[in-house]
Structure 1
Amino acid sequence: MTVSAAERRQQTIIGMLTVAIIAVLLAVCSVALYRSMSVNRSATEDAPQSEQAAHDALRKVKIKPPIADDQGGILISKNGYGSKIDDVPTVGMYLEPLCPGCALVSRTLDPTIKSMLDAGQINLDLHFMTFQDYKSSDEYSTRAFNAAVTIAQQDPNPDHLLGYLMNIYAQDFQPGELSEYRNVTDDQLKQQALDAGADKATVDKAFDGRYRYRAWLKAADDYTILRPELYAPGRNGFSTPTVTINDRRWQMNGGDLKGSFLTAVGLDENEVGDPTAKPKI
């Protein structure tokens, strides 16, 4: 069968139109996905679009925890809150309470980190993220981490904060996400704080329904997710869990999380918790 020149031109035009339509559909889908991701990026309205603007907004929040630094971090060492030890690495942890990966990091590394912290082998810089509130039906992330910040601010013993975090990341406590989310009451969260050793007055204030640090947490979200030094290699955005060592993002090895962490901070496993052994980093 012979195809005429006119038919070939018609087929070519149809092909070009088909490609153009597919390209438009892909563009529309990409825009929709971007808008969806942007809406869920933060609970704040008119979220800043630049890192500097977000940092300025964070610093201008009226009610914020004095214990936190201007990047939204809460520093802990063997000497307590805000007392950085010189000549040891600072481990930064960016966590979200609904994040399954954060729970995995907590369950795997927290005992090691706690031993190193108590021995003065590291400083710990905690950053509380709440940008996955939309994955629960009752602002679980904000409630859980507003309480964490309150405990840090009201209770001088960091062990109580660290114990609370370990408890809410426990496999038999952390709820699922989206359709798998199950309602977690304030009373259930309060019990995790009490079990960690926080006193009743502090816990009651943490769950009094005022959520006094909500705006600060959301502003910290907006700033943190715009910091490119926290992005994983090859990715164009922030995700949790993120761990830094001396302000440099640590590339986790999921196959040997604990071993790769100790290598990154420069300690052998038998040196963990030994005050005379300093990280070789």
Structure 2
Amino acid sequence: MAQGGNPQGKKTGKGQGKAARRARQEALARQEAEQAAKERRQQTIIGAVVVALAVILLAVIAFFIAKPLIASKIGKSADSTSTKADPQAYAAVQEVSHKPSKATKEGGFVISKNGYNKPVEGVPTIGLYSDPLCPGCGALNRQIDPMLKAMMNAGQINLEEHFMVGLDSLSTDEYSSRATGAITYVAEHDDDPNQLLDFVSNLFAEGFQPEEGQGYKSVSDQQIKEQALKAGVPQEIADQAFSREYQEWLEALQAYIPTKPELLNVSGSNQIKGKMTTPTITVNGHFFDQNAVPSSSNIKEALLKSIGLSEKQVGKTGELPSIGDKGKPLSVE
């Protein structure tokens, strides 16, 4: 009986041993699996932390790289909190080696009944900032240009014309730069300022000035030249007016002029308030707020009122605006 029971007992012991080994092996496998999972979780956490730190580091680096670029861009467009224009942008204008000798250091052409750079004493100077493609500039020119020329030729005002190139991106062929380049060339080489003003008026004429943006239709140099010839510009000057030789200077001015605090809009929508837009008018260097012109009035009446001259006096030699050459614009309200 005992012998019959021993083999069964030994077999059971072996089975139990195997079961125990399997259990130990399974437990060890579980421990190894749990340890591997734990390590994977740790690696995942470490990897996530590393990635997060890398993103933060890159963001910090990007911020410090972009900060001066952003500040420069804001300064160039319009910083309404600044009381001075961007000195670096101004220096860049002065450093351009090839620029028109008739232009002021601020990039304007001063015109009077006496010609270029010979202002009449004791009368206001009206500054105009415009772009050949700007529709508002065209509308303004068509309204007030005949009056301004009459007053200039009568010695009642001086004009300071600033021509800009900021709307090239709204044409397919850099119209602003080509037209303004031609205007600048004519101003430098033709001694009759009336021919320059007539040329500009021709470019702003309702039947000639192209639309900006999607409605733009290409305008050739030849078409622009025809407007110069129509204004009386000599053929030899008109032929050479498209060399783009003043482009670097014009681009430097485009970066500088919008940083001048005295040219920033003081009213209007949030899109324009605190920014320089075209057309801009100044009177003796002071901003003339076109947005403040009452709806019952018009820009001609308001501008005359701001310098202290009546419409009946326009073009009459000896009848001078009341503000003189140093006064601020009078209220137009």
TM range (shorter): 0.7 to 0.9
Structure 1 equivalent of residue 244 of structure 2: 211
Task: Name the counterpart of 2:194.
Answer: 159
Match of 1:250 in 2: 288
User: 1:276, CA displacement in angstroms?
Assistant: 1.6
Is the counterpart of residue 228 in structure 1 residue 268 in structure 2? no
Unaligned 5+ runs, structure 1 = 1-33, 43-49
Report the equivalent of 1:19.
Answer: none
* CA distance in structure 2 between the aligned counterparts of 1:51 and 1:73, rounded to whole angstroms: 17
> What is the one-letter code of the residue matched to 2:286?
R
Q: Select the structure of larger CA radius of gyration.
A: 2
The 2-side partners of 1:126 and 1:236 are apart by: 22
Distance in 1 between the 2:240 and 2:250 partners?
A: 17
Matched, 1:95 2:130: yes
2:296 maps to 1:238:
no
Matches within 5 A, 1:123-162: 123-162=158-197
Aligned to 1:184, what secondary structure does the other structure show?
coil
1:29 alignment partner in structure 2: none
1:265 Cα offset (Å): 1.3
Tell me the TM-score normalised to structure 2 length. Answer: 0.69
Q: What TM-score, normalized by structure 1, do the two folds share?
A: 0.81
Aligned amino acid, residue 271 of structure 1: Q
% of aligned pairs identical?
Answer: 40
Amino acid at match of 1:120: G
Q: Which residue identity does 2:288 align to in structure 1?
A: W
After superposition, residues 254-269 of structure 1 pair within 5 angstroms as 255=295, 256-269=298-311
How many residues were matched structurally?
237
> 2:223 aligned with 1:188, yes or no?
yes
Counterpart of 2:214? 179
Task: Supply the distance in 2 between the matched residues of 1:107 and 1:119 (Cα, whole angstroms).
Answer: 20
Please report how far the alpha carbon of residue 251 of structure 1 lies from its aligned counterpart in structure 2 after TM superposition. Answer: 1.0
Amino acid at match of 2:266: P
Q: What per-residue deviation string (whole Å, max 9, x for no partner) do you get for residues 118-166 of structure 1? A: 0000000001110111000000000001000100110000011000100
Post-superposition offset of 1:254: 7.1
| Residue type of the alignment partner of 1:102 | C
The alpha carbon displacement at 1:181 in A equals 0.5
SS at match of 1:91: strand
- CA drift of 1:236 comes to 2.4
Structure 1 counterpart SS, 2:186:
helix
More divergent stretch after superposition (266-275 vs 253-262): 253-262
Summarize deviations over 1:155-190 as a string: whole Å, max 9, x none: 000011000100000010000011010100001000
Q: Which residue of 2 aligns with 1:18?
A: none
For residue 274 of structure 1, report the CA deviation from its aligned partner. 0.4
Cα offsets for 1:96-121 (capped at 9, x unmatched): 11111101110000000000000000
Choose between structure 1 and 2: higher helix proportion.
2
What amino acid sits opposite 1:189 in the alignment?
Answer: I
Change (3 A) 1:206 1:254: farther
Give the Å deviation of 1:85: 1.1
Secondary structure (helix, strand or coil) at the match of 1:150 reads: helix
Partner of 1:28: none
Alignment of 1:16-55 (within 5 A): 51-55=86-90
CA distance in 2, matches of 1:182, 1:228: 35
SS of equivalent residue, structure 1 residue 176: coil
